[in-house]
Structure 1
Amino acid sequence: MGPLEKPLCLFSLVLFVTLFSSTINVASASDEEANALLTCKANLQSANDSLLTSWILPPHDSGSTNASPCNWFGVSCNLDGTVIRLNVTNSSVNGMLDNFSFSLSPNLAYIELSINKFFGVNPPLICSLSKLIYVDLSTNQLSGNIPLEIGLLINLETLHLFDNQLNGSIPQKIDQLKSLIELALYTKSLSGPMHTLTNLGNLTRLYLYGNDLSGFIPPEMGNLVNLVELYMDGNNLTGSIPFTLGNLNNLTVLHLFNNSLSGSIPQEIGQLKSLQSLTFQTNNLTGSIPTSLELSSNPLSGPIPASLGDLTNLEILNLHANRLSSHIPQEFDNLKKLVELVLDENQFFGNLSELCQGVKLHYFTVHHNQLTCTTPKCLRNCSSLATARFEGNQLIGNIFEDFGTNPNLVYLDLSNNNFYGKFSENWGIFPNLTLRIKVRNNITRSIPPGFGKSTQLERLDLSSNRLVGEIPKKFGKLTSLEWLILANTLSVYEYLKRGSLAVIFNKDEEAKELDWPKRVNIIKGVASALSYMHQDCTLAIVHRDISSNNVVIDEEYEACVSDFGIAKLLKLDSSNWSAFAGTYGYVAPELAYTMKVTEKCDIYSFGVLALEVIKGKHPGDFITSLLTAAVENIKLKVVLDQRLSPPSPEVEEIVNLNLSFSR
């Protein structure tokens, strides 16, 4: 044998002995566990034959030396072949848990024996299984006390002992189960005081209902910040509800009914925004109901309980962004102390209650629902109202009758509804208005000058209505105004029958009616409008989309500038940069390259428009030729609209003057 072969031979021998001894140990452990389960089986009864047929050892004459129980019903093993799970849930097993030799399965992590007929006391030996993660002994006939040794199961995450006949108190040692996530002890007969449970920081679900627990609710329970469900109803708890429960921000269920609690409900309870189910009935509670109830951004569904209308001291009700449906209860008329009512982004339909009878309502939102009614008449005289949002419904009503006398209004949005009528003179006299007022409905007539008194107004959107007339001169005093949106609203074609210049130029007969004196008058009219916007307003208004589509003609052939949808106010203390806007072929090169907005943007567009009025069509590439050729070398015939007779000398002079300015 060579020098290399001797070490290899020795290594092989050691490896063989190691593997052989490991196999013997595994086999020995499996034998012990199998025998222990068979001993237990001998003392159990089951209507289910699966236990009897699978829990058997192989025959002696089979030649098999493997007595592993890993393939038995309800038994699971790890890779080493030792038992880690025992699950005979709902198997109609009848017997005592004392028959299980738990100490022979030290690796057990899961014991699931629920919904059977086990009786007797909880064997303390279970508590010696330090690797236990999950224990479910619920719905059996176990009796006696919960073993004090329960505190040894430091890896335990789930403990279910409910629906048994256990008695005595909850062991204080249970507070040592720091890994516990779910604890269910509703056994009907547990008594004594509640313990602090302050070390159970991972606990998410605690079920203690239906017992005879007494004493105070420990204030330290407010430290269990991961709690999602807390059931303590049906006991004999006394004292007040700890205000510290308001720290449980993840709580969705809080049931404390059928106790003997006294005192008032802490205001902090009303701040639990995740709460879905809250029950306090059948106690000795006194005092006022929380004045704030925050239930926003949950998946709550169905109708609002009419009983909420009984909370007559309620000041804040926030149901924002749920899935609530049906009508808003008429009983809400009783909530005369409401300061904030937030019902937006749900699926409500039907009528709105008379919600402002208490004259305290400050913040009211019902936007993005399916409401089809008129607005509450009381809102008209609700002097306290500061924010009101109704957008995205199908509300109807005369806007003159429903709104306009709310002196403290800061934010109003009525857009995307079916309001009609005209603004009254009172509209816009909102001295504190600082945000925006949006109205996109079927509002007619002119814009009331009163809007000019809302000097703090930042955004005004009156687009997509049927307003006519001029922009009030008082708008020049709105020095805080950032957005003025009048798109598709002023001077619409229904009132200016001749339509836009672009429409007229596309129809030969109508274009011929637009003779040279009328065309000169149109150019003067647009120039006058731009002069007013650029020079006469306190803050210059740049239209940014002067084109033949946005100049409309009335019956007297007077020109009106329309569609201020992308207009911009020029602020003296601002750089006035903007994204690209306007109509291709009319946009000033300096805006296209620098994105800086000045009055010159409109002046360039006006020059293009003036040439278009003269030619009867967009000048196109003719603009480029103006930059390279002398005006005296351009034949006038090339410039003029050939559908008209030649102009008079006076008109020719004006045309030549326009050509000079266009350079």
Structure 2
Amino acid sequence: LSSSIPPQIGNLIDVFNLDLSSNMLTGSIPFSLGNMSKLNILHLYENKLSGPIPPSLGNLRNLTDLRLFINRLSGSLPPEMNNIIGLTSLQLSNNNFSGYLPADICKGGALSYLTVSNNRFEGPIPMTLKNCTGLSRLYLHHNQLTGDISHNLGVYPHLWYVDLSFNSLSGTLSPDWGSWHNLTCLKISNNNITGVIRPELGHLSNLQKLDLSSNYLQGEIPKSLGNLAHLYNLSLSNNRLVGEVPMELGRMSNLQLLDLSRNGLTGRIPYQIGTCMKLQLLKLNNNNLSGSIPLEIGNLVHLQEALDLGHNSLTGEIPSQLGKLSMLQYLNLSQNAFTGGLPSSLKDMVSLSVIDVSHNELEGPVPDSPFFRKAPLDWFLHNKGLCGVVKGLPPCVSSATRRNDESKHHKVVVILASMVFILLSLMIVGAALQFRKRKKQSLPVQDNGNREGAFCILSFDGRYAYKDIIEATEDFKDKYCIGTGACGSVYRAELTSGKVLAVKKIHLQEIEDTSNEIPFQNEIQTLTRIRHRNIVKLYGFCSSTRHKFLVYEYMERGSLGSILRSEAAAAELDWVKRVDVVKDVARALSYMHHDCDQPIVHRDITSNNILLDSEFKACVSDFGIARLLQPDSSNWSMIAGTHGYLAPELAYRMRVTTQCDVYSFGVVTLELLIGTYPGEFISVLPSSAAQSSSVKTILDQRVPLPTAEAADEVVAVLRLAIRCVDDNPETRPTMKHIFYKLTTPKTHPNLPSLDSLKLSDLRNGER
């Protein structure tokens, strides 16, 4: 629907439910709606309605659910809205409302869901909210609210989610908030909160996300926060906190993000942080921390986004254990007092896009690898004596020294050659014994109930294929590893026939543990149910006491994430190819969600799980945590997936839906358009400053701007991606709708040219 709402609609006085949402309705809300006195539900969200809310809506005394979010409504809320005392849900976010919130917004005490985020409301939080004991969700973020939060919020036994971020609120954190036992998310960042972090927050046993960053909090970090066993996001950055980092934080086994940066913390980094095995981001920069880096930090093999220890007073040598962080993209150790050399193991950090070790006391050679050869000099300046492959650094040794070293090396080689001969003889005997054992093992696969050789597609016998893979990877040596994920590592295996495969080896625990069997079985069961050109092909699997691995087709260009982190590879991925990648992924997800017997939710769509072949065809991979949506299942689950790509609703309701994949798809699509992870872009997207941003400045600058022909498709992709990362899952499009939009040729004659196009213009386009 694309017209205005006719005033005659007010004649429908016996209607109980009016839903005109998700259309293109324009104009104002008719005054005559106030005549529909029997209305219980009024949904006008996700349209283009403008103007104020008519005071006549105050006549709807029976209204319980009012949703007007994502429109262009403006003005103050009429005081007549205080007459609607039975409201349980009031959702007004993403408009241009101003003025004060109604003083009696919870006069009837029934309000459960209040969302007014991303507007221009000012003044205090209404006092009536303090006694609104039925409140379950409170979204007030991105407004201009003021006042003391410690006096305006009460005790809410049913409260699940609170977001007061990006306002001008003051006051202190109340000890009474420790009684919000159902709370899963508390976000009060970017305000003017003072005082200390209350230890009572450690009583919130269901809390999953705590963000108090960018305030004026003082004192020490309470040890009681270590009791928050379900917490996966803890951000206390940019405050005035002092004291040591509590060792108790190491008890938070589900923690994925820990940001304590920009405070006044002192003492050593507790080694117990190394037990937070799910950490993907660790930021302790801009403090006064001292001592050495704990070796246990090297155990955080899922660190991906950042390890930032810069601007502290850390000493000692950089531990070689950091080389195990093969997924890490950003490493900052600058502005410390580290000594010694750079460990050669840093070459194993294959995902690095930034490493800054400037302003230390380091010396010796920089590791020799393609990444370090292309690294800018700034990352290594102001040290004691670094040398080597980085352009601008001095060479490490003179020619005379090199010849002397070669003479010494010759002697060592002679000795080592003798030792190697003896060892090889022993290994041949051992290998012969092992070969006899392996011949008894095979690679079974189940396909429609029939058990066949795992490599039946390739016409290989399972026993010999198993042997071939072990030999091709030299029993899974690191030099063949091309990627590491949450469930396992992927190896490149070139068989004797010349066929190249990707082998995903599941991590086996040293102690008996069945936890890895679950993702292994999930991936097999999921992939045997689906056959699609944009979903990576499963050729077979092995499950034995020695190994568990899956065998896939090999994708020559690797992951989309690795391509975007490479300057040369990203430049080769022009706009036509990027749009095609988006279409490929949308096609795969649409198939999984809408065309399978039962919908399949991937749950971990990231740029690292999108693989490209030699022709840039994209395939979705890594189904280790995929889930079939059973019709009779509630589909509740613990948090699973990759931080930064997870849908926000998983923080307050752990229900797995296809819309979770839609959000992740939106993040990946924005990453593809921008050229880097779009977390900051998404967080500021609702702001007026972001909306006035030029589209062409947002796009990846490593490739030329799209031609006029390609620009239409790029704009369409960007518009869809922005809709996909909406906080409200109900307003996101489905993957079927997305794929239809991407594959239906359209132009946008009403939009400005790319040179003058702004983000705000995209809200005016066709949905």
TM-score (norm 2): 0.40
Q: Which has the higher contact order (CA 8 A, sep 6+)?
A: 2
